[in-house]
Structure 1
């Protein structure tokens, strides 16, 4: 069996995409386009950060913590959406308690890394082939709403993944993905 990796990725989320994220993450009734969802296992999903409405909660956090003098731009990054998972082999070999502990540790990492008050949601999906968690946080730091406050450059993303590996992945015997050299294309594992 090859290496098993700890995985954490983030992406910018603006405007209307915020509601679409909630539709997928909460498994709201309707026609989901993802054929990998096994609705007989949806009851196993776990909501670790309770929420009602992403858009309202994002706006409430901005209203509470933003101290800039300018109005927040319509195209501002208001939510950073992320995913936490591991190689499928990890979950095949892990018992239910170990899987629960992995996501508990990942949630604690995200709260520490991005600010617990900034966290909008953290949802563990057990109803797809590989268990994973979707999380979202408002990129608010020192009164500034900015992706760049958290990720000023690509190296900052890599350092965040190093910290995730150190605080979570290493605890479970997982590997850190191969780092990309400056100017190299993204590596796929």
Structure 2
């Protein structure tokens, strides 16, 4: 069977930040996602942050002083990338190899979108296929959101 690298990007506005944070940091009591094995959630990690963060506060901090115009109420605040690979490929890698895969993806996104814009890089090891959610605040070099 062929193996594929997978990357998908979704744009999030203010109304999605809280739910995204709760999902990525496993802050909920119950989830609609039946694929999450709560007994394995302790294996999850974030390559950017050492501890859970408030996405709304972190976005606000990144925007302050860098974005020149008033932020619109309907502005895209986070571009979230989902990074994984074919299940057979990901599950065939050792934990160390999986971590290197995710670190290489973060390095690529830092080069493309600036490390200063990185918000989180949360790896989920508690679902069927290991995957990573990377949040980037889309601030351009000339100070636009």
Q: How does 1:86-165 map to 2 (within 5 A)?
A: 86-141=85-140, 142-145=142-145
Aligned counterparts of 2:85 and 2:33: Cα–Cα separation in 1: 20
User: What is the rounded CA distance, in whole Å, between the counterparts of 2:100 and 2:84 in structure 1?
Assistant: 12
Root-mean-square deviation (Å): 1.1
What is the rounded CA distance, in whole Å, between the counterparts of 2:9 and 2:28 in structure 1?
26
Residue correspondences, number: 142
2:136, 2:91 → 1: CA distance? 29
Larger RCO: 1 or 2 (CA < 8 Å, sep 6+)? 2
Shift of 1:33: 1.3
CA deviations over 1:15-52 (Å, ceiling 9, x no partner) = 11011100000001411111100011111111111151
Give, in whole Å, the separation in 2 of the partners of 1:29 and 1:5.
Answer: 31
Aligned to 1:27: 26
Larger Rg: 1
Q: Which aligned runs of 4 or more in structure 1 are off by greater than 6 angstroms?
A: none
Q: Where does structure 2 lack aligned partners over 5 or more consecutive residues?
A: none
Q: CA–CA distance in 1 between the matches of 2:110 and 2:65?
A: 18
Tell me the TM-score normalized by structure 1: 0.72
Structure 1, unaligned stretches of length 5 or more?
A: 146-189
Q: Which residue of 2 aligns with 1:48?
A: 47
Where does residue 84 of structure 1 map in the other structure?
83
TM-score, structure 2 normalization = 0.93
3-state DSSP class of the match of 2:123?
strand
Shift in Å, 1:108? 1.0
Cα distance, 1:64 vs. partner? Answer: 2.7
